[in-house]
Structure 1
């Protein structure tokens, strides 16, 4: 068994399977992307062991833990075998007994084992420190419906380094943003997935992101990354309201009316009672463009206030429409 630092762990994790020995609950709350959960204890067993450790001491907790693990030893080996590699990376929460115990068992069986020093906690500390360094971020800004995500994806096909924060958060970022996606990851997992994207990039080249709020749906962006985004140069995409309405109706107009109405009521205070009821009536009558126009007026006003606060970071305004999206993408990726 070899204990390795986080840098070496990350440089190996795409070549060899990663085993997370924490409980299923811990793994679900946030894990290293791609890690396979191979827990020594289930959620209830972990709670029992923790209580015994606090109340009766380490030795008693170990004895009880061994009794719980004993019947599962063969299963643990067989699951590890199913991964198809004789070299495995292992971690627990702090690089303690759980990872060491599984490492001992698998090494005894014949595996080569690398254990992460400091465990998952070391990984999370690395994540925070990673975004404390200068990064060449470029921000695509624009009002709701400006096709910013489509632009980023087009840039990606042309070779740009892009991070689709809304895609990783499984949310489109507005009161209506949850209806087109699956359930959101935890903030912790969302942040881990963001780091995973950055680890594949060359930090010498620009990394493009969409201008976002600190919270997307219920998922929080990494605080130091968000601060870097606020200070980074912005490229303001300008699309006519008429075209933005078409984009929004095309993207959201086919959603169930009850969901659209609920989301409209969710922002009733911001829309104003009269505008809210008018928008809801349009939705009920299938007049999606009229409803979108009312709702868009609120979002445009809110966006304008936000952009004014960051006006010094806007380096260029770029007119765009569906016809020249590819051309705009090609021009942006040339920016160093």
Structure 2
């Protein structure tokens, strides 16, 4: 049969439609980075791929192809074809891809055609689609649309981002990290590659909404361990800034909910009550230890002592109010001075200040509906 190939010009449509994708690469390749709608049904296992790769280097492509057919034949081949057929039965609109849209895609497609099913494969494969996503993040046209939402720790920036679903892209949501020393989530962060892939997808969806502004929360170049690429971050550093303001009391209650109530709950869901409390306690201690050098040993020691006292009260009496003491110290000695210093460097880019209601009203006025 003739090859059924989806051209590179369809990449945007593939991602925006959340097209079901069969990733033919070996599991080790898939683990390093993949796409949100992809499912790993490999042509070869990691070991088989390694053997074929070694053969290719030592004896050339013809010998490598012959070895691949030798390794994946009979019952092994039938099982892999059956897995593809089962997926296509559930997802009739599925596409194949391998690393470059080459031999693995062509072989898999021909085997499925022999089984009576014709599924397209994507030209350029993972490499081509990945390059398209990188270009999406680094597109110079993004910078003029950017508007940065800044605000002191605990002011509720993420709440505003979630309220502005049309204009906003949630960098912390994509990174699965709240962007601060206490910003770790119970579930792990994505790999750097998957962070970039998912950020690009969010930007494509934003473009599809055709809003006049790209609202982003003020971040450093690292969100946890996820690195924001230089062209994108440079655009953020040149963009106009709006500043979200909130009272100290509101900030303390918000951080108590985030750092204590939410994290304790999430750890207990993951680990059970007893181990969950210990995991939660370690999260607080490790968060302080991570900033102890910048905080200063005296303040770090004081902070840890307050945390231990609050944990004891929480465990014995189910009372979390003492956590407010170390949160207030953390704000006063670490977050607030750092924020004021950073905000001074952005002073000439600030175009509006206000609380959540004022920020939303201002954004409504700037963004035609």
| 8 Å Cα contact 1:19-1:37 kept in structure 2 | yes
| Residue correspondence of structure 1 range 1-336 to structure 2 within 5 A | 1-12=3-14, 14=17, 16-70=19-73, 71-83=75-87, 84-130=90-136, 131-135=138-142, 136-156=145-165, 160-178=166-184, 180-202=185-207, 204-205=210-211, 206-254=213-261, 255=264, 256-286=280-310, 287-297=322-332, 298-318=334-354, 320=355, 325=356, 328-336=359-367
Alignment partners' CA distance in 2, 1:89 and 1:74: 19
Aligned to 2:268: none
Deviates more, 1:297-306 or 1:272-281: 297-306
8 Å Cα contact 2:22-2:96 kept in structure 1: yes
Greater per-residue helix proportion: 2
Take 1:299 and 1:134, find their aligned partners in 2: how far apart are those partners? 33
Deviation at 1:164, TM superposition (A): 1.4
Q: Provide TM-score, normalisation by structure 2.
A: 0.82
Q: Provide, for residues 278-323 of structure 1, a one-character-per-residue CA deviation record: whole Å limited to 9, x for no partner.
A: 11111111132221122123122222232333333221111x2xxx
Distance 2:358 2:86 in 1: 48
Aligned-pair Cα RMSD in Å? 2.0
1:170–1:184 CA contact under 8 A, matched in 2 = yes
Q: Which runs of 5+ in 2 are unaligned?
A: 265-279, 311-321
Given the superposition, is the C-alpha separation of residues 333 and 122 from structure 1 closer, same or farther in structure 2, using an over 3 Å criterion?
farther
Greater displacement, 57-66 / 252-261: 252-261
CA distance in 2, matches of 1:59, 1:282: 68
- 1:2 and 1:102 map into 2 onto residues whose CA distance is 12
In the superposition, the TM-score normalised over structure 1's length comes to 0.90
Cα distance change on mapping 1:5 and 1:222 into 2, 3 Å: farther
Structure 2 distance, partners of 1:289, 1:69, is 61
Residue aligned with 1:296, SS = helix
Give the paired residue count.
Answer: 327
5+ long unaligned stretches in structure 1? none
Contact 2:151 2:244 in 1 (8 A): yes
